[in-house]
Amino acid sequence: MTGRPDQDGDHNLRLLGDAWDQAAEHWRDGTARQFGEDQLTPLLHESRGYLEALRKLMDTLEAADRDTESPPGSGRE
Amino acid sequence: MTGIDADIDALRGLHQALVRYRHAQREVAARGEDEIRLARAALEAKASYWRAQLELGQAGLGDCQDRAAQAAEDGAVDCSGYARAVEQSREQLERIRRWQQRIDAEASEFGGTASRFRDLLEAGLPRVEEHVLALVASLEAARRVQAPASRP
């Protein structure tokens, strides 16, 4: 992947969510429900929190780069 | 395929997805750290450039002011270009300093969240994967018990 890390992280999270949806189509008993609540939901919640924080920080890094002049000849001016 | 077979397949698929997720997000986290390092290095390189420009500008302005003082009677020496260059360098340095402070503060705040996420990837997620494998093993055991019982 070549995008911003936060965007790639969002993509990975969507893939995991899709995999869980697919598994939940077949696996629907009480154990599945409990697994979803106790294991998967906290994992997804923590991941979303991290990716949101990463997105904010990447936005700041990009803004800093745009707002500060690069030395001539650096290829970034 | 029986219900138990479908459950086993579903759980195996989920286990593979969890393993892929752990590896992919580990890479994301490492790239996030790299981006912070690169951004800090880029700002430091810019600051270094503008510090050098400031020194050059100040030296040029000093020389110009000396020449202006010596030629006071003629009044033909204009140092405003040097003064503008010095002012521009100061502004750029101040701008860079503010961004460096902001990035330090935000990166520090992010550090706590990133550390929890790393723990999740290194310890929490493998536990979830093991839990899924244990469920697969228990379903397979149940299937083995079921299979002979279902024979005539």
Residue with tokens 């302005």: B61
The 10s digit of each residue's pLDDT in A4-26 is 999 999 999 999 999 999 999 88
One digit per residue, the tens of pLDDT, for chain B of length 152 reads 678 888 899 999 999 999 999 999 999 999 999 999 999 999 999 999 999 999 999 999 999 999 998 887 666 889 999 999 999 999 999 999 999 999 999 999 999 999 999 999 999 999 999 999 999 999 999 888 876 655 55
Q: Which domain holds residue B127?
A: 3-150
> What mean pLDDT comes out for the span A53-57?
98
In this prediction the ipTM stands at 0.90
For residue B11, the model assigns a pLDDT of 94
Q: Do B92 and A61 touch (CB under 8 A)?
A: no
pLDDT value of residue B46: 96
Q: What integer is the mean pLDDT of A46-50?
A: 97
- CB burial of residue A57 (10 Å; 0-12, 13-18, 19+): buried
Q: Which two tokens stand for residue A61?
A: 């890094």
CB contact under 8 A, B10 and A61: no
Contact B46, A71 (CB under 8 A): yes
Answer whether A43 sits within 8 Å of B125, measured CB to CB.
Answer: yes
pLDDT of residue A1: 60
CB contact under 8 A, B32 and A57: yes
Confirm if B93 and B50 have CB atoms less than 8 A apart.
yes
DSSP B24-73: HHHHHHHHHHHHHHHHHHHHHHHHHHHHHHHHHHHHHHHHHHHHHHHTTT
| Nearest neighbour of B46 by CB, restricted to A29, A58, A71 | A71
- In chain A, the N- to C-terminal Cα span, in Å, equals 26
B-chain CB neighbours of A38 within 8 Å are: none
CATH of the domain at B109: 1.10.287
pTM: 0.87
Chains A and B form CB pairs within 8 A to the count of 126
Amino acid B145: pLDDT: 85
CB–CB of B100/B78 below 8 Å?
A: no
Can you give the pLDDT at residue A73?
67
Nearest one of A50, A20, A61 to B18, comparing CA atoms: A20
Per-residue pLDDT of A25-34, as tens digits, reads 888 888 889 9
The tokens 């009044």 sit on which residue? B75
Number of domains in chain B: 1
Q: How far apart are CA B80 and CA A9, in angstroms?
A: 51
pLDDT of residue B76: 80
CB contact (8 A) between residue B46 and residue A12: no
